[in-house]
Structures are given as C-alpha cells and as structure tokens.
Structure 1
Amino acid sequence: MPPAPAARAKLLDAFVTILLEQGERAATLDAVAATAGVSKGGLLYHFPTKDALVEGLAEHVEALAAEDVEQMSSAPEGPAAYYIRTSVYADTPLDQAIIATTRLSQTANPRARQALRRIRQGWLDALSVEVTDPAAARAVMLIGDGLYYGAAMSGETSETPPEDVGELLEVVRRITGERD
C-alpha cells in the first residue's frame, strides 16, 4: 500500500496532538487544519467531516497496532514476553494514537471503541498462539495493561521496561505453564 500523502499524515498528527493536549471538544476541523498548517480546504479534501477524521485516526491506529502484532508474533522471546516487555508508555506514534483514540472512546464514539476492540483482539489473538489457555492469555494481557496504565498515569515515558519486569515475566511463565 502506498504511503499516505504528507498533508493527510500532518492532519492526523495534528488531530492526535489536539486530542492529547486539549481533548475532543477542542479538536474541531478548524483547529486541526490550523495545527497542521494546512488550509481548511486541504483538510476537507482529505477529511470532509469530523467523522471522516475519526475514521482516518481509527484506520491509522489499527495499522500501527497491526505492525506491533507482527513484531509480537515474530519476537524471538515469544508473544507473551514481548507484550510484557513493551507494555510501557514510550510516547511512540502507537502510544499517542491509542491514547487519542481512547479519548474519543470516552465520549462514546463508536468507531473509536471499535478500533480499540480490534486492537485488543489482535494482541489477544497473537498471545493465544503461545498461551493456549484463554484465561491465562487474558491474564497476560491484564498484566501488560497494568504496566501500560501505570506508566501512562505516572506521566513518565520510557523505552525500557520497569526494573521489576523480570519478576513479572516469571509470573507470566508460571501462569502460562512455561518452564525454564
């Protein structure tokens, strides 16, 4: 698939920035165009409505998450360890897009909620290849979710897992029945 036009990417980045910094109410079409440095006509060419902008963000976050699932599925350490080790808020484009989509989901936006459900299902499907017990796979997800939530709520970003991740990976090994 060819890369998105530069203006379209700038508009999505601006939408994410506004959602993160000011919230959904501030993310008007005019504000997105101004933040992106694109004319309103340029914005309307790519996203004729706010719903189209939300759809663009949903497609974008789902594509980023699909790339993460590919990395997770091919990780030498296995999907469960990858998921736990990468469950930090590193302020990556994926992190930013997820938080922005979550902000939309909190206002009951159905497309944002659908995107988040699809992302979680993709991660769960990747985990389930390795962790065949459905309850254990969900437990691994919840451990990762807790790490991510804790990191995001602290306001600190990190590209490395917390120091206690080794202990959590041991718990994951016990949950999944994996032996050293």
Structure 2
Amino acid sequence: MIGTMARKPVAREAVLDAFESLLIEVGERAATLDAVAKRAGVSKGGLLYHFPNKEALIEVLLDRLDDLATADADAMAAADEGAAAYFIKSSVWADTPLDRAIVAATRLAEVAHEETRQRFAAIQQRWLQEIAADVGQAMAKPVLYMGDGLYFNAMLSVGPVPANETAADVAGLLAAVDRLRG
C-alpha cells in the first residue's frame, strides 16, 4: 500500500522493562497501563496485545523473577567458594537484572499482592536450602539475614556506597561465615 508504513512490532520485553522500571521508581499504584505504554513508547493497544491487563504484566514479571532467581540459586549451588560466600558476595546492590526484578516485585509485595509473596517465599526457601547445604541448617538463616541486611542497606543508602566500604562489609561478613562453619 502506498502511503502506509508497516508498524514496528511491539517489543514485549520493552513493555515488561517499562513496567519493572515504573514499579521501582513510582510504585504499583502509579505503574498504570497508560504509564507503562507511554514509558515503553507503544500505544495502549500495542501493550494490550501482549498483556491484556495489569495482572498479566505482573505474572510475566514474576516469571522473570523466578527465572533469574533460579539461575542465581543454581550458580550459588555450584560456587567453588560455597553457597554462603556466594550469597554474601552477591548481596551487594549492583543494578543487575535480578536486583531490578527483586525491587520491582518488592513494590508489589508492599501492597499485599499474594502471588508475589508466595514467589518470594519459594525463592527464599531455595536460597536457604543451598546455604544450609554449605553451612548447616542452624546457620542458614543467619547467613540469609547477613546477606539481606547488606543488600537492603546498600539499596537504601542515601548516596553511592564507596567500593572500599562495601568491600570491607563483605569481607567482614565472609569472615563471620568462616567462623560459622567452625
């Protein structure tokens, strides 16, 4: 047809990335379908073609989280340094795809989204299983809490945390893990 250009295909991942970013930046209530479409640079109809409603977007975001967390737990299980040390070292905010998926999903959990809470519980159980295989059942939760504390303190810091300070925190926690191993 003369005068008509083929429409660019809607990038499903771009829409999902836009939703994830909006959740991180402004929270669940402001991450409307209109806002997601605008951020992704697509029409609302283009968004609805791939995601008929917000719950469909949430479901795919949670699937992304599951995939990333599974890959992370597999890497943790295979780590030469042990699962506990891997967990501590990877508990530093690095703006990775897993970091972003966790923070976005946390915004959903904040509004009591039950499926999100269930997915987080399953992820945490897998992490605990891998850590327990390394340092024992009694020490698994303390290691999990060490990593979680490191992660959330870095994420909530007012400004960038100096690399030497983060490295010192990680080294201190790794020394504690060695003491836990006895």
**Inter-partner Cα distance in structure 2 for 1:129 and 1:83:** 13
Counterparts in 2 of 1:45 and 1:157: CA distance versus 1, 3 Å = farther
Does residue 56 (structure 1) correspond to residue 60 (structure 2)? The answer is yes
Match of 2:25 among 21, 40, 47: 21
Structure 1 residues 151-160 or 43-52, which shifts more?
151-160
Aligned residues: 172
Alignment of 1:93-132 (within 5 A): 93-132=97-136
**Residues 90, 157 of structure 1: 8 Å contact kept:** no
What is the DSSP-based 3-state SS (H/G/I as helix, E as strand, rest coil) of the residue aligned with 1:24? coil
Does residue 174 (structure 1) correspond to residue 174 (structure 2)? The answer is no
**Inter-partner Cα distance in structure 2 for 1:12 and 1:158:** 31
Q: Deviation string for 1:13-67 (max 9, x for gaps)?
A: 1011111111111111111111111222221122111111111111111111111
**Inter-partner Cα distance in structure 2 for 1:6 and 1:139:** 45
Counterparts in 2 of 1:81 and 1:107: CA distance versus 1, 3 Å = same
Does residue 46 (structure 1) correspond to residue 50 (structure 2)? The answer is yes
Q: Which residue of 2 aligns with 1:67?
A: 71
Once the two structures are TM-superposed, the CA of residue 135 in structure 1 deviates from its matched residue by 2.4
Once the two structures are TM-superposed, the CA of residue 131 in structure 1 deviates from its matched residue by 2.1
| CA root-mean-square deviation | 1.9
Larger Rg: 2
Tell me which amino acid in the other structure corresponds to 2:177.
V
What is the DSSP-based 3-state SS (H/G/I as helix, E as strand, rest coil) of the residue aligned with 1:164? helix
Match of 2:93 among 80, 89, 95: 89
Does residue 148 (structure 1) correspond to residue 151 (structure 2)? The answer is yes
**Inter-partner Cα distance in structure 1 for 2:114 and 2:67:** 18
Q: Unaligned stretches of 5+ in structure 1?
A: none
Q: Deviation string for 1:100-155 (max 9, x for gaps)?
A: 100110000112112211221121121122122x2201111011111001101115
**Residues 29, 40 of structure 1: 8 Å contact kept:** yes
What is the DSSP-based 3-state SS (H/G/I as helix, E as strand, rest coil) of the residue aligned with 2:18? helix
Match of 1:164 among 169, 179, 182: 169
Match of 1:137 among 122, 125, 140: 140
Structure 1 residues 16-25 or 152-161, which shifts more?
152-161
Once the two structures are TM-superposed, the CA of residue 69 in structure 1 deviates from its matched residue by 0.9
Tell me which amino acid in the other structure corresponds to 2:51.
F
**Inter-partner Cα distance in structure 1 for 2:97 and 2:161:** 13
What is the DSSP-based 3-state SS (H/G/I as helix, E as strand, rest coil) of the residue aligned with 2:29? helix
Structure 1 residues 72-81 or 123-132, which shifts more?
123-132
What is the DSSP-based 3-state SS (H/G/I as helix, E as strand, rest coil) of the residue aligned with 1:48? coil
